[in-house]
Each structure stands twice: as structure tokens, then as C-alpha cells.
Structure 1
Amino acid sequence: MTNTENVVLRNAKYHELDEKANIIYKFVTTYNDYIKTAHDYGTGEIINMVEVHTLTVIEENPGITVTDVALHWNRTKGAVSQIVAKLEKRGLIFRKKEDGNAKNVHLYVTDKGEFLSKAHKAYDIKELTWADKMLRQGFTTEEIVIFYKIMDRYTELLDLPRPE
């Protein structure tokens, strides 16, 4: 194979792979914008998806620590601490030192936080049911199941070391 033919094949392969990568990139950037947009989940409280999902993890796991929330969402403790501080400032959660150790800080929702978390769950049921219905207009159940398996595996791949 000549050098010119090699370049042509390499360019064709790049464009084939780039087309696929652009689908993922467009999804990720669009979804990232969506999760950062503040919503009213039916309580009058305006909050973004990252914050409300963090609130719900705390509501469903009373006494959870910042470290455990960070592990749950694959985020740094610093990033989670910032979200937790916002939730606390809004009166949605509180911190409680336990076991006589100042480092053992556990998180709990307030009544207001519990109300918002439950409203968020109802909102998500409605939204996710709608999204599932829309997907089923163009895909079979088997294709949708495979899509979620692929997304899960792709997420795992992002944490793997890259080949040299």
C-alpha cells in the first residue's frame, strides 16, 4: 500500500470515528447544559438537577457523609462539599457531628428538603416516563435496554487507562 493510500484510509477511518464521537459529544454537552439549568420541581423552590439529586441521595441515605456522596456520584469531595454548602444555606439539609468526633459529619434533610426531594422524585417519574414513551416510538424495548447497557459500559471505559 502506498503512503497516499495509507493517508486516505487513515482519513476515512478518522471521519468514520469522528462522526460517532460527535454524536456522543453533542449528547454530553446538551445534557450537561440541561442538568445545570434550574427547575421548579413543583414546590416553588428553584434548584438545578445536580443539587436536587444530591439532596435526594441524602434524603434516601440519612446520615450519609460527603465522602460517601462523592463516591456515589464519582465526584470529588470538594465538589460535593460546595453543593452540600448550598443545600445547607437554603435550609434543605443540616450537618450533624456524630460519634464524638468532629470529623464524623453526617448529612440529613430538613422537612423542607424532604418535601423537595419527594417532589423531585414525582417530577422525575413523570419526565422519565415521557422520555421512555418517546424512545419507544422509534426503538424496541430490546434496543433501549442495549442503549442503557452501552451507556453504562462507556461510562466505565472513561475511567480506564488509555493505551499508548
Structure 2
Amino acid sequence: MSTNEIIKATIHENFIQFLHQKEQYESRLAGVFLEELQKLAELGVSINMTELHTIACIGEQEPINVTSIAEKMDLSKGNTSKITAKLLAAGWVRKTQLSDNKKEVYFRLTAAGKKLFAYHDELHNKEQMRMYEFLDKYSESELDFIKRLFGDIADLYR
């Protein structure tokens, strides 16, 4: 096996290890988040990350319709409709119509949805700061490479 092939195999092994650690981290974070969610909502709620990110999308863009949510989240309109129906039934979002367009349905967050959105935003900000502090040890050229690498990895798994 050539040196190049050995390096590629090591990179692949490290990537798989990264994915496993990421899954464990997200599981721990989800557990902490659900504990906080239960405190905020004062009930045991089952919510997945896609639903949570749909709440975030609505909170950032409200009022927003299903088509726009689907486009921003890169989901099908059918899947987005199912998610918004579940969020509506759970009391996280409400339907509205604009005064100049009574045909189109838009979504806004309820008071409970706004609390969840704020908590989610706080978690994202903490994680972003953690990542920025981690990346501080790299030079600009290394950061450019890392940016390209992660962009290429995202394209690989699309």
C-alpha cells in the first residue's frame, strides 16, 4: 500500500470516528435540550432536530409559508407540510394570513415556540463560539483549506 493510500485510509477512519463522536455529542446535547424544553414547555414533548430547525426557520423568517420553509431547509413541500402540521398540533406554531393575500397560509411562532426558538438560538450561539475558539489556532491558509474540505464533504453527501 502506498503512503498516499495509507493517508487516505487514515483520513477515512478519522472521518468515521468523527461521525460517531458527532452522533454521541448530538445525543447528549439533545438530552440536555429536551430537559430544558420540558422546563420551558412544562410538558414532555417529543421533537426531532428537523422539527426544531423548522421552528428556527419560522422564527427567523416569520411570517413564512410552506414553500419558503421547504426551499430554505432543502426539504420537499410534502415533508414540510407534515412537519408544520405536527408543530401546529403541538402548539409551537400558528397559521396566519396576510391582509392582502387571504389564499396563502403563513406560519408564525406561538409564545411557546418563541421560547423554544430563543433557547435554540442560544445553543447555536454557544456552539458557534466554541467552534470559533477552536479554529483560532489555525492560520488563514489552513482555514481556507478547512472551508474547502468541509464544503467538498457536504457536496459529497448531498
Specify the TM-score bucket, using the shorter chain as the normaliser: 0.5 to 0.7
The structure-2 alpha-carbon separation of the partners of 1:145 and 1:57, relative to structure 1 and needing over 3 Å to count, comes to farther
Query: Can you list the C-alpha shifts for 1:4-43, whole angstroms capped at 9, x where unaligned?
Result: xxxx78xx98776555444444544654662794524845
The amino acid across from 2:150 in the alignment is M
Alignment-derived partner of residue 138 in structure 2: 140
8 A Cα contact 1:58 1:108, kept in partner: yes
Larger-Rg structure: 1
Moved more, 57-66 or 148-157: 148-157
Structure 2 stretches lacking a partner, 5+ long: none
If each structure's helix is expressed as a fraction of its own residues, which one has the higher value?
2
Structure 1 Cα separation of the partners of residues 155 and 110 of structure 2: 34
**Is residue 51 of structure 2 the alignment partner of residue 51 of structure 1?**
yes
Alignment-derived partner of residue 149 in structure 1: 148
Structure 2 Cα separation of the partners of residues 24 and 17 of structure 1: 10
Alignment-derived partner of residue 123 in structure 1: 123
8 A Cα contact 1:66 1:80, kept in partner: yes
Alignment of 1:29-40 (within 5 A): 31=22, 34=26, 37=30, 39-40=33-34
8 A Cα contact 1:65 1:106, kept in partner: yes
Q: TM-score, normalised by structure 1?
A: 0.66
Alignment-derived partner of residue 108 in structure 2: 108
The amino acid across from 2:127 in the alignment is E
Structure 1 Cα separation of the partners of residues 113 and 21 of structure 2: 28
The structure-2 alpha-carbon separation of the partners of 1:89 and 1:23, relative to structure 1 and needing over 3 Å to count, comes to farther
What secondary structure does 2:62 align onto? coil
Structure 1 Cα separation of the partners of residues 63 and 109 of structure 2: 9
Structure 1 stretches lacking a partner, 5+ long: 1-7, 160-164
Q: TM-score, normalised by structure 2?
A: 0.68
Q: Work out the percentage of aligned pairs sharing the same amino acid.
A: 22
Structure 2 Cα separation of the partners of residues 76 and 32 of structure 1: 25
The amino acid across from 1:154 in the alignment is I
Structure 1 Cα separation of the partners of residues 110 and 149 of structure 2: 37
